[in-house]
Chain A
């Protein structure tokens, strides 16, 4: 980089409609899957088969409004707002842990209750905040990652340490993992030296090992990952029921709405376990469609990274696609017993308003970056950087 960066001539093109369509497709599949997984539960618990579908639909609408707003709003504003965004993220994470604000479900304090507002999971928005903050910092003065030497490793580790410590306090290992992997990738792409990357990854692995050994239930999850059939009615129950759901789906599935495993066999069949229900009802074919949609979203997102008009946009887009990709991989990996189970929603699909709204807002930002990039991959980049 040199100082002779010319003035930017921003072309306000059209956003990546294909990307928008792919995300819309995932959301629609998600609504179908949520309905399929919940109508029985909704009927017995609330006398209304549409109970969960209606709520998810409402959140999708809120998400759509956020998406349109972020699509309209120049993404550069986030660079200016980034200190505020990060500060708010940390504050909400602290608030969740305070009695009177936080709400505990399934043994984890992840929900924030503010007055009459529906409970939200701040950690979902924190992912976005961390991505914005890191993108702003890494693209900011001095380009700390690319600066050689330790390359800003210390402040980065400190920042991530604070945020993830607060999230682990809930506790929420899945979100922590997504944040750390996303941050590491952004750091890597921002030009960090390999030594720094390795140091970051090594400390992450060490921390992870300490966490697994430190909590009994994480140790159980690890053991149930290694051999679930050792205790099929106890610690292995969850993962075995997920595998039974997937496996019994076969190539074409049992048909929409025909899942049997949703009948209280799979804990969180409509939230973190929804991929298993999709696999059971739509089979391997349905799984392939969902995976291809995600891959296409990430691919289109990568194109946005390439065409970003500036480093902030590129890093911001990187963070967003990494977040979506890693969260998807960890979720599906857990359900297929490829990695240990961690409670984490499948983006766009799992039931859960905060996750849906946060990811849709992120897609809005991604689309705003895309519309500020040229339609051809070389266009705006050429105009700028060449001396």
Chain B
């Protein structure tokens, strides 16, 4: 009889043996995983559990010359909802409610968008106020993903948009000063190392360490926010009034080259960037330095200054304007087809006489004329420090396609291209005593390690101080003796020269109806504090610089003279300068 009456002990022992064998197998297997393969798995665990995040550095401010901020950086949060991280319907509701409360959106709205997103992460906002975002994160609700973003805000609104440029979503400057001085403004990002869970969130009570970011430096521009605002206001008003396509105004300190204001149209809205449309990218460039144009009669200042400096003429020198001149088979005429007989050099500028300019170019001859153009900085960028700066083109006798007609037309500003900045810089040299200054936009960089001050840079002496004085006088006469007197400022003496340039057509020749109306002038006459260039593209109601551009110059001059508290020179006659 079986020793065990109920169950077979053999079978029981067989079962126990089987279980024991399985157990032994599992113990060996676990030991293999935990001891033999420990290093491998520990490495894999480290790789997945450690997360390294960069912490963006606060971007430096951009300030005007008085230290007023015009672009500041704020740390904002980009908040998304990741439905994959919701572990229950209740958790989903909590997360949606918290995000809605923080952003001010309605929970139903977010819920709806989440459903539309079909459980893909949903970006709720990219611009949540720092404190609110911090509080939202403090709730540490799963499914809420927040990332720091450096967000540019503009206390002065859209002021100087084309000059400043904009920053991309990653916080890096993409155009304008933001791009050209990005290394200084950006600083260097910090890092944050922490243990994370499977969806990337830091785990509660986990290890953290961080290297703080190095903040970017502040950029102090030479721009004055008041002047910039006046300039933009007047430019916009003129464009509207004359139905013009665009324009540029530059205000420069003639003795330093510092740019006090620089505005171009068309432009874009810094606060509402919409570049999905490729055409919009056409609006972002700083046209004052990138776009070339033929200056027209404003360029006679260069021709005249050169001739006076070479001792070929004085303001009193006369020539005979007996009608259109025929040069190499081409008739060159005055702009209004009027002819003045015998007139002085001062009258030549006053009447903006093309025949006179051609007479001057004949006296100058190509060698001296083109040498002088180069000395005034034409044909090469001014090195103002902005990328994309154009240098302009003119032909010289060394070029194969140069012809003597070029010399004659160049003398009154045709067949030669330049940027508005180049002309403003050259005219600054004419009025400042004859020194070509390198124009500049950044006065100083205020970094954590100290201040880097930029000093004015004199490029070369172009004309003599005496020629400069003479030119100022002639420019004053050009404004004050003008029959229309649109550029004058009551109570002050100013100087300038208008221009009405034809627009070269891409198909050759010039467009029949389009003009660029411009003026470049300075004030006050007694000791110039500003050179102002106004250029209005394709005005519709009147083509003339004196009608379209001069009033802008006059208004800007008046506002600035008051702003600078320059005492009026009413009653003081302008001393006549005799060579």
* Interface residues in chain A, defined as those with a beta carbon under 8 Å from any beta carbon in chain B: 1, 40, 43-45, 139, 185, 188-191, 241, 243-251, 260-261, 263-265, 279, 283-284, 287-288, 291, 294-295, 298-299, 302, 305-306, 308, 310-311, 313-315, 318, 322, 325, 329, 332-333, 336, 338, 381, 384-387
Tell me if B's interface is mostly helix, strand, loop or mixed.
helix
Knowing A263-B198, A264-B197, the reply to whether A246 touches B22 (Cβ < 8 A) is no
Kindly state whether residue B101 has any CB partner on chain A within 8 Å: no
Beyond A247-B42, A248-B41, A315-B7, is A265–B88 a contact (Cβ under 8 Å)? no
**A311 partner residues in chain B, CB cutoff 8 A:** 5-7
Chain A residues near B199 (CB-CB < 8 A): 264
Which positions in B face A, CB cutoff 8 Å? 1-9, 11-12, 15-16, 19-20, 22-23, 25-27, 29-31, 33-35, 37-38, 40-42, 44-45, 48-49, 87-88, 91, 140-142, 195-199, 203-206
C-alpha spacing A315/B11, complex, angstroms: 12
A287 and B30 form a contact (CB under 8 A): yes
Which residue on B lies nearest to A294, using beta carbons? B23
A284:B31 contact, CB within 8 angstroms: yes
User: Which of A245, A306, A386 is close to B1, meaning CB atoms less than 8 Å apart?
Assistant: A386
Which single member of B15, B25, B198 contacts A189 (CB below 8 Å)?
B15
| Cβ-defined contact, A1 with B5, below 8 A | yes
A-B residue pairs in contact (CB < 8 Å), sample of 11: A40-B203, A244-B45, A247-B38, A247-B41, A260-B45, A283-B34, A287-B30, A308-B6, A329-B23, A338-B26, A381-B4
A385–B34 Cα gap in the complex (Å)? 49
- CB closest chain-B residue, reference A267: B198
Contact B44 A244 (CB under 8 A): yes
Q: A251-B35, A260-B195 are in contact. List 9 more A-B contacts (CB 8 A).
A: A40-B205, A189-B11, A191-B7, A247-B38, A263-B203, A288-B27, A291-B30, A315-B6, A336-B26
CA distance A187 to B506 in the complex (A): 100
B7 touches A336 (CB 8 A): no
Whether A189 pairs with B12 at a CB distance below 8 angstroms is: yes
Inter-chain CA distance A386–B2, complex, in Å, is 9
* A329 and B22 contacting across the interface, CB-CB below 8 Å: yes
| CB of B7 to closest CB in A, whole Å | 5
Instruction: Tell me whether A246 and B45 are in contact (CB under 8 A).
Output: no
The prevalent SS among residues of A at the interface is helix
CB pair A191–B198 under 8 Å, yes or no, is no
Q: Which chain B positions have C-beta within 8 A of A243?
A: 33, 41
Q: In the complex, A1 Cα to B3 Cα: how many Å?
A: 11
Complex: A230 Cα to B139 Cα, angstroms: 38
Q: Which residue of A lies closest to B47 (CB)?
A: A244
Q: Are B141 and A44 in contact, CB atoms less than 8 angstroms apart?
A: yes
Our pick among B7, B23, B37, B205 for the contact of A291 (Cβ within 8 Å) is B23
Contact of B19 with A250 in the complex, beta carbons under 8 Å: no
Q: Is the CB of A338 within 8 A of B29?
A: yes
- State how many angstroms separate the Cβ of A315 from the closest Cβ of chain B: 7
* Complex contact A295–B23 (CB within 8 A): yes
The reply to whether B35 and A45 form a contact with Cβ atoms under 8 Å apart is: no
Minimum CB distance partner of A311 in chain B? B6
Question: What are the 7 closest A-B residue pairs judged by CB atoms, nearest first?
Answer: A247-B41, A385-B5, A263-B197, A248-B45, A311-B6, A264-B198, A314-B6
Q: Cβ of A329 and Cβ of B41 under 8 Å apart?
A: no
A284 to B29, CA, bound (A): 11
Task: Determine the distance from Cα of A333 to Cα of B24 in the docked complex, in whole angstroms.
Answer: 11
CA distance A260 to B207 in the complex (A): 11
- Which chain A residue shows the least CB distance to B203? A263
Q: Nearest CB to that of A308 among chain B residues?
A: B6
CA of A299 to CA of B26 in the docked complex: distance in angstroms? 17
Q: Do A247 and B33 have beta carbons less than 8 Å apart?
A: yes
Q: Give the distance in Å from the alpha carbon of A49 to the alpha carbon of B267 in the complex.
A: 57
Chain B residue numbers with a CB within 8 Å of A189 are 7-8, 11-12, 15
User: Shortest Cβ distance from B190 into chain A, in angstroms?
Assistant: 24
Residues on the A chain within 8 Å of B88, using CB: 45
A249 and B140: CB pair below 8 A? no
From A330, which residue of chain B is reached at the shortest CB distance? B22
How distant is A285 from chain B, measured CB to nearest CB, in Å? 9
Q: Is the CB of B38 within 8 A of A185?
A: no
